[in-house]
Structure 1
Amino acid sequence: MAQDPIGTPRRSTSLANSATSATGLGRSASNSIWTTDSAPSRVTSGATANTASLAVGGSQSEHVQGLWDRFTFLKNTDNIKNNLLEDVLTRYSHLTQVFEEYKRENLLRLGEEGGKKAARQLKSAAAKYLASLDGMPKDLRIAARLYTNVSGLAQTCVRARLVSSVTIVEDFLRGFTYGDDLFDVIDVGYGKDRADGKVIANFKHEVHNYQCRHILFGCSHDNGFARHLERYTHDDATVAKVTLLEGVPFEKELRTLPYQQQKFPGLFRDSKIVVNSVDLVTADFSRLRHDSKHNLNVFNPNSAVFTPPSQTPAPTTPAFSPKTLASDALGPLRNDLTRTNSMSSVALSEAAPSVSTPNGGGWANIAKGSAHLPYKDLTKKVAEPLPTGPAVLLNKDDQRIDVEMEYDHEKVFSLKKIKLCNQHYIGRGCCHYQAGNRNCPHRHDLNLSAEDRKWLRVVARETVCKKGTACLELDCIYGHHCPYPKQTEGPQKGIACINGVNCRFAKEMHGMDMTVAKTLREQDLELMDA
């Protein structure tokens, strides 16, 4: 038995085996550590140990690199999964919005049954919200009043292609009233201000009614209600009693009011109805016949923008040539051809005696046959001059028409750069300036001549009126249809304006019928509001 330098008895190969196990070296290298050879032998064994250390270090480096590669792979995999998850959630959110919009519009398309469902959903959502407010009794009775021009709303929905017939909208509103005994639809007739007036009057009545515990006021679409609501902002009791109900996003002035705001998702539209104007390039102007439900309240079946559920083309009148139209063909034609306009139906054969046609007939013979008829003045009537005093001009579709104005580019452009307050100089007066605050960003400090005010009216005309083509305000200074010139070249030549898709005026404000069909003066508007 051998002993190590400190006298511990052990086998001579035990430590060598241990070293071999730890370093992975051969037997000769391990034994050389414990021999009593010369110094060079020990140096050789030391070099061999260093080689072993490098081998271990290289193995560790490869292992670490492998871990980094694995980490990078997992990281990239996580990124792929996260991106996929984000894409799925985004698509799901979009599909949810589309489904909610479809569901809202589908309620309208369901007619009477859809109106009943809408009433039930509104009552349920209102009850749930009111239950969350402090101090509300559990046995609340919920009443709903909807003020609208039923005919105008129905026609707008048809022109926007939300429904195929006005009767569907009428059935929907009827179903809404059937949905609950305290739910009413009040038809205010023609004129947007009529509905506004009714809504405001009802608000004033209920806000001071002690039996009315809370008011859900649906007004997010119209800044005009902001003026009325501002009067109560200093009354804490009224502010706590009123919640503004959101459909479309709140207009700017309504968002700043101190009232509570609430939205019932999936019940009201979150975008305004867009009425697509007729595309004069691709529109089909063939007359269509619509089979209305029960033949009640038929909506203009000859309208080119009408989309009926079933269509049958109107019979086409054959064209005849003077060379091919013989006298023997006039007999049955005279017996069948009738007038069906505003006059009584009179057979052509009864209007004139038969005329011989020795040369095969022609339009000249037809003219001779009509020579005995009384003379009718067919000259085109001269258009009546436009009114010179204050008036609201409407076309046959009850869309407001602005009187044409002169235009001077340099003068208009120079006024635009100054950024004057239109209401202060040519309107009803700036409410912010009169109140003494500085909320209006435009200038009020310049003295304008009559000529400057004239050109400022042109500037104001380039701002879209918030009431659109339905505006009936006698002194409105804003534009109710696009005032810009039309394109003179390209596929939209003569149709779109020079601003193209970037025009601030809506699509339905382009290509309007500019023929004046109605002239409403101050006394006419007063009668409408009475």
Structure 2
Amino acid sequence: MPSLTLNGNAAGADNISHIRSFWARHEHLRDNETLRTVLLEDVITRYENLVNTHADYVAHHQNELEQSLALQQAQNNVRHLQNLLNRDPYLLVLIEGDGMIFNTIEDGEAGGKVAATTLQNAILDWATTSNNVLECPPDVKVVVRVYLNLKGLGEACAKAGLISSPAVLEEFARGFTRGKTMFDVVDVGYGKDRADVKIAENFKLFLHDYHCRQIVLGCSHDNGFARLLEQYTESQEAQMRVTLMKGVPFEKELTVLPFRTVKFDRIFRDLKTVVNTPDLLTGISPRRDSHALSGASSAFTPRSITPITPRYATPASNGMSQLDGVSGHLRSMSLTSSNSESGGSTWATLAKARADRPLTDLRKMSSPADVQDLGPPNLRKSSISRNRAGQRIDDSFDYDRDEVQYLKKMKMCNQHYIGMGCCHYNAGKPDKCPHKHDIKLNKHQLYCLRVVARETPCKKGLYCADTTCIYGHRCPFPRASEGSMRGSDRCLNGELCRFGADMHGVDTKVVKMTRATGRF
């Protein structure tokens, strides 16, 4: 190291001091830089935390915003759906029209319009009174569907005397349908239970429809609907939404169901419609058997225009014949004077009505004792009349129509009185037979009971060889002279006749007699 002079030492000292000042300044700047770095790091850290917190708040807010929008949309949807559900509420009335018959059918189209208006007013008054129908708004509509066999019911009502002709019912249906825009009469045509099936399917379809606030079911006459309703006896909702409407009294199986019932006065007939059984001689007042039109009911009496047929006649002076009536009083009629009188009960009318019947000589029935010879049971018959085809031909009867009608209403057991005996009664179980056994009948009543039995078809058919058989082997009712059945071999009962198609139009010309051993 080179030596320094004095001046050199002074210069060196200054340099060292200067260097130290640099180091001091450097240290100061370094410390400040550290403080700045720490401060900056702290600021960045805090900023980062704020950014993350803000992001969390933004995400949470966005989620809440989306939920709020979704909730608002859901509320709007609920209001829209509620408006849709509350729009066009209606009460559905399903009626089995073959049994629920309106009182105004005889008035044709005008009667149909009156029935529609009356029924709608009655339904609305009932639905809005005493909360019979919950949540029933004032603008509720009434929808009515009547299912029936229009042609068959029209013919039956005409024969029962409710209307003048089947066309009147068609006019009524037209007036009913036109009377209210939501009222319809649906013609289901011929066929068993066609109306019932349609009503059942509509019932199931609309039962849980919220727009349908109540189903009013008109079926009081038909136990068959009990099968449908039994499926819903445990459903409280169904019990609140279904009401049974009464026309005729409810059948037994319907009365035990837990559904409400309602009856509207003066709208429907409260008696079953009866189509009087036709007179085998004259063909007047025929019967149509169906589940809705009971041929056994006694709601109606025979028409007054029915010719009076004698039980038996005895020769009398001046051409008079003595007629013993149902009540036991005597009637007399002059063959000469009756031809000149107006009315349906003349011998001329009777003769004309019987023109196509086999001739029966009333003189053979010359005394009440002869009635016994023709009377029940036909156990003495050893041979059976048959036509060319070998088909059995039943003997023709002359009888008192009033007596026959009376016996029908009495519901006598045919087998007990004129057959081989009722099996239930003979077995000591008369309660098992639905017919009567304890009424004493005279000879003539037993004779007339054979006419009643003839209207039940024999299960053995046209070739029955049982000499003791009391039932009919060919349809005793007159052939159809009008409508779609005209010109056919079918009777005026049409497709509802209990006699099979082969038992119609049977040749009644006897060509041989066959012997039989009796019952088999």
Same fold flag (TM > 0.5): no
Instruction: Kindly indicate whether structure 1 or structure 2 has the higher relative contact order, using CA contacts under 8 Å at least 6 residues apart.
Output: 2
Which of the pair has more CA radius of gyration? 2
TM superposition score category, shorter chain reference:
0.3 to 0.5
